[in-house]
Chains A and B, each alone.
Chain A
Amino acid sequence: AQSVTQLGSHVSVSEGALVLLRCNYSSSVPPYLFWYVQYPNQGLQLLLKYTSAATLVKGINGFEAEFKKSETSFHLTKPSAHMSDAAEYFCAVSDRSKSTFGDGTTLTVKP
């Protein structure tokens, strides 16, 4: 069985501030981990993925995430938030046949 917990359903930051979105997972097999972003009235788009290569993964739009096996975490960060980053973010874990998604974190960016 696999599961994902996203800590904080809403995160608010000021433009230019650090973005940190937290994700913890559980998996019975070595995990494949993903972060997706969803803009209003759209489907999800891939931000980045971890597939057991480098533990620090760089994605699109300046986002990155670090896989920490000892903490079973895969937190998403961006050094400087932009207004266009306001969206809902989902962490997901794959067991090789299907993915399980977290409940999502809504990111608000204040001017």
Chain B
Amino acid sequence: NAGVTQTPKFQVLKTGQSMTLQCAQDMNHNSMYWYRQDPGMGLRLIYYSASEGTTDKGEVPNGYNVSRLNKREFSLRLESAAPSQTSVYFCASSAYGEDEQFFGPGTRLTVL
């Protein structure tokens, strides 16, 4: 089992560029999540998907879009990157919303 995988591991963008972060899990989990982690601010939820076909906004959704492609995959898109989106992005999954979450290794994104 690979668990939760994320691609890419590192990315540098220029302001205004777009990109998609990919996430996949092989644990047959229903719920999937995207977080950003900034120094001193813990993890902030961007979007989550409680089940295939549903997505909901989290605490900091502005500037992002998501797609729950199927039960395994949950992608995060930045349409027009801004320096304020420089962060480490984590994808996570859980069997259900109340269960422990399993995290991917993260994507370090820098927007110049």
Q: Could you list which residues of chain A lie within 8 angstroms of chain B, going by C-beta atoms?
A: 9, 32, 34, 41-46, 49, 51, 90, 94-104
Residue of A41, A43, A49 with most partner-chain B CB within 10 A: A43
User: Does B42 lie within 8 Å of A98, measured CB to CB?
Assistant: no
* A35 to B87 Cα, complex, angstroms: 23
Cβ–Cβ < 8 Å partners of A95 in chain B: 97
How many residues of B are in contact with the other chain, CB < 8 A? 27
Cβ–Cβ < 8 Å partners of B40 in chain A: 9, 103-104
Q: Could you list which residues of chain B lie within 8 angstroms of chain A, going by C-beta atoms?
A: 4, 31, 33, 35, 40-45, 48, 50, 56, 58, 90, 92, 96-106
Cβ–Cβ < 8 Å partners of B99 in chain A: 94
B2 to chain A, nearest CB (A): 13
Cβ–Cβ < 8 Å partners of B35 in chain A: 101
Q: Of B44, B92, B98, which one neighbours A96 at CB under 8 angstroms?
A: B98
User: Looking across the interface, which residue of chain B has its beta carbon closest to that of A106?
Assistant: B40
Cβ–Cβ < 8 Å partners of A46 in chain B: 100-102
